[in-house]
Amino acid sequence: MRSDHQKLGFYLLIAPLLLWLVLLILLPHLGLFIVSISEKVGVREYETGFGNYAAFFSEPLYWRTFARTAIMSILATALTLILGFPIAYYIAKLTRGRTKTTLFMMCLIPFWVSELVRTFGWMILLRETGVFSQTLQYLGLTAGPIEFLYNDAAIMVGLVYTSILFMIVPLVTTLDSLDDSLVEAGYDLGGNGYSILREIVIPHAMPGIVSGCIVVFMLSLGNYLTPILLGGKDSLWFTGMIYSQFITRFNWELGSAFGFLLLALSSAVVFIGLKLSRQSLSETMGR
C-alpha cells in the first residue's frame, strides 16, 4: 500500500516534466527536422529529401550569411573576452567588500533591462541625428552629420554590450577562487606580470573562460534584435534569414532547414567547448 502511494507520488512528479520536455522540446525539434527534409512538390504534397539543405549550399547568399554570422559571432566572443577579462579581474582581485558588491551590481543592472531598451539606447547614440554625431559636430570635429549606425561595427558594439555580462559573471566566479598567494609565489619565483598572467591566472580561469565563451557565442549566434536594429536591412544575420523564410516568404521547409543548421552549429560549439575543457553540461549550465 505504502509503496503504491510512493509510486503514485513519483508518477505525479515526473508527469509534468515529461509533458514539458516531450511536448515542447523533443517533439517540436523532431517535427522541425521532418519539415526540413520535406520538399514541396504540389499543393499540400511533399516528398522526403535533402533538397532544402542542397538549396542552402548551392545559393551563395544563404551559406555566406551563415558563415558571416558564425565569424561575426566568434569575433564578438573574442572581443567580449578581451574587454571583459580585465573588468572581471578587477572586480574579483582588486576590490574588496562593499566596493566589490557595488561594482558587480553595476554590471548586473543593465542586463535586467530588456535587450530592446538597450539596443534602442545604442540607436539614439549612433544614428545620423544621434548623440555622438551631434556632439562631434558641436565640437567642430566634423562638418556634417555622420551615420554610425547600419554597419558591422555597430552590430559588434551591440553584440558585445548585450553579452558581456555572461562573460564577466563566470570569470569573476573562477577568479575569486584564485588564491592571492599563488600570484605572490609567482613573483617570488621571478615571474613578471605577463608570465604570471599566462602561467597562473589564465590556466586557473580556464573553466570560466570556456563557459563564458560558449554562452556568449550562443547568444550572438541566436541574436535577432541587435543585428536587425543596429545593422539595418543589410545586416545579413542568419536568424533574420530564418525569420524572413518563415514569416515573410512562408517557405517553412527551407526555414526549418536553416533553423536546424543554426541549431547544429550552436550545439557543435557547445559540445566542442565542453569537451575541450573536460566539463559537463550539468556543471557548466547548472551553476
Residues within window 87-106 making contact with another protein, judged by CB under 8 A: 87, 90, 93-94, 103, 106
Query: Under the criterion CB under 8 A, does residue 175 sit at the interface with another protein?
Result: no
Residue 224 in contact with another protein, rule: CB under 8 A: yes
Q: Which is nearer to another protein, 77 or 256 (CB)?
A: 256
- Can residue 25 be called a binding residue for another protein (CB under 8 A)? yes
Sign of the alpha-carbon torsion through 227, 229, 231, 233: positive
Among 1, 98, 112, 248, binds another protein (CB under 8 A): 112
Given 62, 66, 85, 161, the residue binding another protein (CB under 8 A): 161
The verdict on 267 binding another protein (CB under 8 A) reads yes
Q: Any contact of residue 143 with another protein (CB under 8 A)?
A: no
Position among 1, 3, 4, 5 found at the interface with another protein (CB under 8 A): 5
Does the protein bind another protein through residue 82 (CB under 8 A)? no
Instruction: Report if residue 66 touches another protein, rule: CB under 8 A.
Output: no
Taking CB under 8 A as the rule, does residue 239 contact another protein?
Answer: yes
Please choose, out of 55-63, 64-72, 118-126, 204-212, the segment that lies near another protein by the rule CB under 8 A. Answer: 118-126
Q: Does residue 204 bind another protein (CB under 8 A)? A: no
Task: Examine residue 56 and tell whether it contacts another protein (CB under 8 A).
Answer: no
Contacting another protein (CB under 8 A), which of 100, 246, 251, 279?
246
